């Protein structure tokens, strides 16, 4: 969790006029909420070993809100993303996202999941190169230990003297403020995070050795992710929540896809979040160390998406067109939007309404969102009902997993505790 927990406050807190102390406190809050949301997701959501943490998707919109003119006299401006959580809560718990997920196939999942990982390449080696003396040795050691020395690593115990200073609590930064336009901008960022999390959930199910996630379970998980965004807003993490992509890659790196392990880890996140010294230690970790970890984590998630190609017919020109076109646009369109923003200081859509600019610019800056939407549209409009094409797109492999009870393994893995299944749609 060090990646998003450290890098997001590092990017946002200085923009808000905060110093090292405020940065450490936001890190503690983000870690506390991540642990709480991870427990909720693993108990009542998808039940996958998926970690719910801060999301980079919300960062551009958060910066836009922080820099808004109405916050010019406020040193601690925090826009609570509570309203944006309603989008995922409604889409998830109503079952609407289930109806969308039913039309996913292995073919359309490939670009989505692949670019959930590969699309974050800018956070990898470019970050390592910022301090190559630290980042490169870390990357080499990580590859050597994880790939060449399996089952040899022995963990040691270290005793640290820490002090209890504070427990994060709702509205700790003061009363929330709301603006209609900014709320809509946050909702769009929330929708982009929803699409990216769909790909991350699929990757987690793959590396957790679970069956393909049924649409109803995916919808349930999205609903609880909406609750996670609501809690993020209430506690003031300055950010929204989504499935942690780096932890999806960690499942592949460690080959430990246990739900119980993630729940215990969530307990440790909550415990460490109230220890002030740990917040300070996390805040002092060099960014190249985190970037070196990303090089492996994101690579695993990306190749997890490519693994679904085994269900598709790669000899079909329809398959080749959908894959090539969606992946190319998924890389090319965000590159244009990001380059334009870097050169001009604002996105291609630049009107007098900052919130409207964010609604358009943010989704087209996400590689996974663009690739996933293009692949989903093409896969479901280019003669999808033809029998041969149905097999080409690998749809027949996922047929029995469309229903929650279509496979006994799915019911065993995704079933809710305490007989709560009757309260959620299963078909």
The pLDDT score that the predictor gives to residue 287 is 80
Supply φ then ψ for residue 337, to 5 degrees: -65, -40
Which of 27-41, 180-194, 387-401 has the weakest average pLDDT? 387-401
Q: Is residue 116 part of a domain?
A: yes
pLDDT, tens only, 102-158: 899 999 999 999 999 888 888 888 888 888 888 888 888 888 887 877 656 554 434
- pLDDT band for 38, please (50, 70, 90 cuts): very high
| pLDDT, mean over the chain | 82
Residue 230 included in any domain: yes
Q: Is the pLDDT of residue 79 over 60?
A: no
Mean pLDDT of 319-345: 92
Which is more confident, 279 or 378? Answer: 378
* Contacts of 108 by beta carbon, 8 Å cutoff, 6+ apart: 322, 372, 375, 376, 378, 379, 380, 393
pLDDT-derived band at 273, boundaries 50, 70, 90: confident
Q: Which pLDDT value is given to residue 52?
A: 93
In angstroms, the Cα distances linking 73 to 139, 343, 372 are 43, 28, 41
Q: If you average pLDDT over each of 20-29, 30-39, 386-395, 407-416, which comes out highest?
A: 30-39
Evaluate whether residue 11 is within a structural domain: yes
Across 318-345, average pLDDT: 92
3-state secondary structure of 248: helix
Q: Cα–chain-centroid distance for residue 224? A: 14
Residue 314 is assigned to a structural domain of this protein: yes
pLDDT tens across 356-390, in order? 888 889 899 999 999 999 999 999 988 766 667 87
Among 155-164, 229-238, 259-268, 396-405, the minimum mean pLDDT is found in 155-164
pTM of the model as a whole: 0.85
Structure-model confidence comparison of residues 416 and 288, the more confident one: 288
Of 14 and 2, the one with more pLDDT: 14
93-97, 266-270, 273-277, 378-382: least confidently modelled range? 273-277
**Does residue 181 sit within a domain?**
yes
Supply the DSSP symbol for 52. E
How many domains are contained in the chain?
A: 1
Full residue range of the structural domain in which residue 238 is found? 2-422
Asked whether residue 427 is domain-assigned, the answer is no
pLDDT at 426 exceeding the cut of 90: no
What is the pLDDT at residue 235? 85
pLDDT at 177: 67
The total number of residues written for the chain in this structure: 427
SS (H, E, C) 171-237: CCCCCCECCHHHHHHHHHHHHHHHHHHHHHHHHHHHHCCCCCCCHHHHHHHHHHHHHHHHHHHHHCC
């Amino acid at each position: 969790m060090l990646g998003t927990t450290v890098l997001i406050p590092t990017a946002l807190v200085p923009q808000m006029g905060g110093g090292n102390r405020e940065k450490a406190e936001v890190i503690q809050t983000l870690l506390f909420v991540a642990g709480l949301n991870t427990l909720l997701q693993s108990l009542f959501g998808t039940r996958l070993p998926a970690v719910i943490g801060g999301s980079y998707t919300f960062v551009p919109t958060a910066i836009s809100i922080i820099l808004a003119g109405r916050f010019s006299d406020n040193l601690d401006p925090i826009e609570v993303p509570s309203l944006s959580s309603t989008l995922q809560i409604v889409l998830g718990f109503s079952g609407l996202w289930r109806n969308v997920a039913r039309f996913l196939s292995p073919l359309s999942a490939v670009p989505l999941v692949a670019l959930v990982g590969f699309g974050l390449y800018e956070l990898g080696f470019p970050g390592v190169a910022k301090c190559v003396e630290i980042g490169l040795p870390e990357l080499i050691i990580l590859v050597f230990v994880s790939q060449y020395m399996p089952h040899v690593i022995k963990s040691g115990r270290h005793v640290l003297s820490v002090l209890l200073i504070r427990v994060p609590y709702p509205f700790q930064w003061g009363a929330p403020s709301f603006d209609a336009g900014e709320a809509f901008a946050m909702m769009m960022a929330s929708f982009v995070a929803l699409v990216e999390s769909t790909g991350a959930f699929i990757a987690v199910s793959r590396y957790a050795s679970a069956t393909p996630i049924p649409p109803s379970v995916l919808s349930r998980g999205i609903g609880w992710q909406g609750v996670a965004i609501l809690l993020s807003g209430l506690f003031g993490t300055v950010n929204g929540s989504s499935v942690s992509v780096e932890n999806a890659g960690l499942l592949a790196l460690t080959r430990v896809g246990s739900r119980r392990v993630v729940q215990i880890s969530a307990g440790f996140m909550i415990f460490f979040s109230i220890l002030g010294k740990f917040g300070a230690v996390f805040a002092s970790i060099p960014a190249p160390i985190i970037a070196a970890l990303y090089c492996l984590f994101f690579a695993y998630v990306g190749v997890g998406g490519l693994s679904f190609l085994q269900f598709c017919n790669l000899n079909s020109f329809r398959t080749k067109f959908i894959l090539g076109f969606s992946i190319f646009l998924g890389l090319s369109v965000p590159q244009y939007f990001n380059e334009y923003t870097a050169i001009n200081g604002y996105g291609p859509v630049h009107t007098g309404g900052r919130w409207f600019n964010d609604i358009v610019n943010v989704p087209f800056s996400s590689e996974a969102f663009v690739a996933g939407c293009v692949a989903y549209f093409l896969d479901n409009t280019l003669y999808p009902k033809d029998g041969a094409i149905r097999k080409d797109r690998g749809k027949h492999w996922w047929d029995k997993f469309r229903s929650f009870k279509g496979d006994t393994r799915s019911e065993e893995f995704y079933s809710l505790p305490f007989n709560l299944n009757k309260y959620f749609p299963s078909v």
